[in-house]
């Protein structure tokens, strides 16, 4: 069985852009695949192997898919300048991938920036999505939200990312050692096969001109009231998770997100921050798998199908 460390890198072309992705775990079966959307500046090489492999092992035959946004990691193209453009690119990718995998939908786990993209996706093309997991993320502009501290934003948007500021942004100081372990795992996970047998060299965090585009997309989302206003139309089962003290996306925003979604469960992890999904990788993966397996409370009411914004 392939893992985060061993899964081969595949590529597909959609709308003239080459996208890199990996299929991890078992082949598709009756269980929908789970596709992971990464955080700000990250790529498929940098997913935490402990988290990804737990999602696969505990998933009972569920395949996990990782994907590089355009202009990130091993994908071609340029970094999108808006979350709707991220979503449009992702939809183009999915429409090709689903045919290759012979499935109609994927479940989507969006972490941080990936949560923004997942929200826009389910508004634009709900028929492509089964259930949603939204972690360390929040809605677009609207009532009840809290802005992160300016110094935290500066750290994650710095021209060249550095280890200590990244760890401090993702993990509380009392668990800084766990943050160091996470970063080491993430940077080393693909080291053994990178550059061998046709595999690409390791890709690092996004740097250079693409960061300006990414920052523009982030700031535009933060000022757009429309996605927030449409959240109550989302007829999907959703799990929203947050760290107790998230400095990147304040946990208050995750609570507001869960409150706006009609069919959401909300979980907050103690003594944790933005990186709660890595700090509690085993527990988090188990809860995600159980939720996707319909073992969590579900709303008995469903308003029927909703036409996507791009329909």
Q: What is the pLDDT of residues 248-268, one digit of tens each?
A: 999 999 999 999 999 999 999
Coil/strand/helix, residue 107: strand
Q: What is the pLDDT of residues 43-71, one digit of tens each?
A: 999 999 999 999 999 877 789 999 999 99
Identify the sign of the CA torsion 219, 116, 169, 267.
positive
Burial 4-20 (b: 16+ CB within 10 A, else e): bbebebeebebeebebb
CA–CA separation, 168 vs 271, rounded Å?
13
- Please give the distance of CA 49 from its chain centroid, rounded to a whole number: 15
Q: What is the pLDDT of residues 152-208, one digit of tens each?
A: 677 677 666 667 888 888 999 999 999 999 989 988 999 999 999 999 999 988 888
* All domains in the chain, ordered by first residue: 10-292 (3.40.50.1820)
Q: What average pLDDT does the segment 258-287 reach?
A: 96
* Tokens found for residue 118: 């997942």
**Measured torsion, CA atoms of residues 51, 57, 61, 67, in degrees rounded to the nearest 10:** 30
pTM, two decimals, is 0.93
């Amino acid at each position: 069985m392939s893992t985060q460390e061993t899964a081969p890198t595949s590529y597909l072309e959609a709308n003239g852009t080459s996208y890199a992705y990996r299929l991890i775990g078992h082949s598709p079966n009756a269980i929908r695949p789970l596709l992971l959307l990464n955080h700000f500046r990250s790529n498929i090489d940098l997913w935490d192997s402990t988290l990804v492999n737990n999602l696969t092992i505990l998933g009972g035959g569920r395949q996990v898919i990782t994907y590089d946004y355009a202009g990130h990691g091993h994908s071609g193209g340029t970094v999108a300048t808006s979350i709707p453009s991220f979503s449009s690119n992702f939809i183009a990718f999915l429409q090709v991938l689903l045919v290759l995998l012979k499935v109609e939908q994927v479940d989507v786990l969006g972490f941080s920036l990936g949560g923004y993209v997942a929200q826009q996706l389910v508004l634009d093309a709900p028929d492509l999505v089964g259930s949603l997991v939204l972690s360390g993320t929040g809605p677009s502009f609207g009532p009840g939200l809290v802005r992160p501290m300016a110094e935290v934003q500066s750290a994650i948007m710095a021209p060249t990312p550095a280890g200590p500021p990244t760890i401090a942004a993702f993990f509380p100081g009392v668990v800084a050692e766990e943050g160091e372990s996470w970063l080491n795992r993430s940077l080393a996970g693909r080291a053994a096969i990178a550059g061998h047998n046709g595999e690409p060299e390791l890709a690092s965090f996004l740097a250079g001109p693409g960061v300006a585009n990414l920052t523009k997309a982030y700031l535009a989302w933060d000022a757009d009231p429309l996605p927030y206003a449409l959240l109550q139309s989302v007829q999907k089962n959703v799990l929203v998770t947050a760290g107790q003290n998230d400095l990147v996306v304040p946990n208050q925003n995750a609570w507001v997100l869960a409150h706006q979604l009609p069919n959401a469960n909300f979980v907050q992890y103690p003594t944790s921050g933005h990186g709660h999904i890595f700090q509690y990788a085993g527990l988090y993966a188990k809860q995600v798998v159980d939720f996707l397996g319909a073992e969590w409370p579900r709303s008995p009411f469903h308003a029927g199908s909703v036409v996507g914004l791009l329909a």
